[in-house]
Chains A and B, each alone.
Chain A
Amino acid sequence: MPGLKDVKDKISGVKKTAQITKAMNMVASAKLRGAQQKMEAFRPYAGKFAEAMRDLSGGIDSGDLPLMEVRDVKTVEIVVVTSDRGLCGSFNAHIIKTAERLCRQYEAAGKKVSFVTVGKKGTQSLKKSGKLRLAFNDIMGSFQMFNAREISQNITEAFLNGDSDQVDIVYGRFYSVGVQKPEREDLLPIKSLSVDEGGTSSKGEVSGSYTYEPDPGEIMEVLLPLFLNVQVYHAMLEVGASEHAARMTAMDNATKACKDMIKDLTRLYNKARQAAVTGELMDIVGGAEALKG
């Protein structure tokens, strides 16, 4: 039977841990709200952007635009977006695993793979592979559009230089507070945005009456890099929200586990105390018996 004091210390220790995990849970939920607001604010921009791209891409020969050029794929670059901090369950591990699986698939097909990581966790894990080309760390806390721009400029450069022939992005998509899943999307070459059926004809008429300045092809040239920024920024937003949601769940579980431990430990403590009381009573009774003689 462990000593009374040991158990008591243990209980207070676990209680303190529970306090911390509880606080982290609340911080994460507050931050999640912020991240969701950021996503909400971004939605009109992204929506409008996609709409304009659709309108424009109809009358454009995608072969002329270097960012849409489909080449024989020899090297694939994978952009992996994770969080900077841990303590959010298996969230980052899942993203990294997905990226590694993708890497193996490409390598099995005889392609070379390089990684660009956004977020410290991805950097730490993928550094070991020796395929890390570039890492963007410590920006997931409070990133803005210009962070996304820096990243997309960098991968565009590599694509245009011919260092990579295809760029994929892997990130954790936010479905709900309870569900976040790793997802893969194409970044480069930019696929021509197919117009969804149904709205095609009416959309086509509207865009036909527009005056473009400069001509649609040149507008596309400006818009494509911006579109890439939008995609990278979107992935970062998703990861931002997912990270906090995953941390909320992880911390909630930790708090629950602490409570269970406290319950068990309290039981153990009561038992030990009872044993001590019984022991003392035995001593007293024994002493009294002896005195009676």
Chain B
Amino acid sequence: MAQIHLEVVTPSGAVVSEGVDIVTAPGVGGEFGVLANHAPFLSTIKTGTLTFKKDKTIKYLMVSGGFAEVSSNKITFLVESAEFGQDIDVNRAMRAKERAERRLVQAQQATERVNRIRAEAALQRAMARLKVAEMTRH
């Protein structure tokens, strides 16, 4: 099967750089899949799960905030963080989730818009981490 080269780049270095069969990513306008020889394409990415398949093995990656670029049979993700399920500290993500939920309640009462947005983003990241960790285990 024809492959597309996947690259996931974060500020602390490249996380993935290999040929894969299919990539599924959480775009802002909804989830999208990319196969080999896709047309040039640029989309922003929201916090969520990036899935890619290579030789029948499926891998999950938690990504947050960034964009993806497809050109000349190569897909590059520029994201602020990218973590494989096995590298995720579940306890820490749990704590982050609880903290974000508490903040969200507080922010709602005080109607602080900015704090609410931040807490929501933190909550999304924590939930995405937990989800990826969960999926990797199974």
Chain A contact residues, CB within 8 Å of chain B: 38, 41-42, 44-46, 48-49, 52, 56, 144-146, 149, 153, 157, 206, 209-214, 218-219, 222-223, 226, 229-230, 233
A238 CB to closest chain B CB (Å) equals 14
Chain B contact residues, CB within 8 Å of chain A: 9-14, 27-29, 32, 39-44, 65-67, 69, 71, 76, 78, 80-81, 114, 118
- B9 to A229, Cβ gap below 8 A? no
Assembly CA distance A46 to B96 (angstroms)? 28
The contact of B40 among A42, A210, A214, by CB within 8 Å, is: A210
Q: Which residues of B contact A38 (CB under 8 A)?
A: 12
- B42 to A48, Cβ gap below 8 A? no
- B81 to A145, Cβ gap below 8 A? yes
- A52 to B9, Cβ gap below 8 A? no
Which residue on chain B has the smallest CB distance to residue A42? B11
User: Nearest 10 CB-CB pairs, A to B?
Assistant: A41-B13, A213-B43, A222-B44, A210-B40, A145-B11, A211-B41, A45-B9, A45-B11, A210-B42, A213-B29
- B42 to A213, Cβ gap below 8 A? yes
- A230 to B42, Cβ gap below 8 A? no
Q: Which residues of A contact B80 (CB under 8 A)?
A: 145-146, 149, 226, 229
The contact of B42 among A41, A219, A229, A233, by CB within 8 Å, is: A219
Q: Inter-chain contact count A-B, CB under 8 Å?
A: 81
- A52 to B39, Cβ gap below 8 A? no
Which residue on chain B has the smallest CB distance to residue A153? B118
- B43 to A226, Cβ gap below 8 A? no
Assembly CA distance A184 to B76 (angstroms)? 31
Q: Which residues of A contact B27 (CB under 8 A)?
A: 213
Q: Offer 28 A-B interface pairs, CB within 8 angstroms, sorted by A.
A: A38-B12, A41-B12, A45-B9, A45-B10, A45-B11, A46-B11, A48-B69, A48-B78, A49-B78, A145-B12, A146-B81, A149-B80, A153-B118, A157-B114, A206-B40, A209-B40, A210-B41, A211-B39, A211-B40, A212-B43, A213-B27, A214-B28, A214-B29, A218-B44, A219-B42, A219-B44, A222-B44, A226-B80
- B66 to A226, Cβ gap below 8 A? yes
The contact of A48 among B29, B76, B81, B118, by CB within 8 Å, is: B76
Assembly CA distance A212 to B39 (angstroms)? 11
Q: Which residues of A contact B118 (CB under 8 A)?
A: 153
Q: Which residues of B contact A218 (CB under 8 A)?
A: 28, 44
Assembly CA distance A52 to B44 (angstroms)? 11
B6 CB to closest chain A CB (Å) equals 14
Which residue on chain B has the smallest CB distance to residue A56? B42
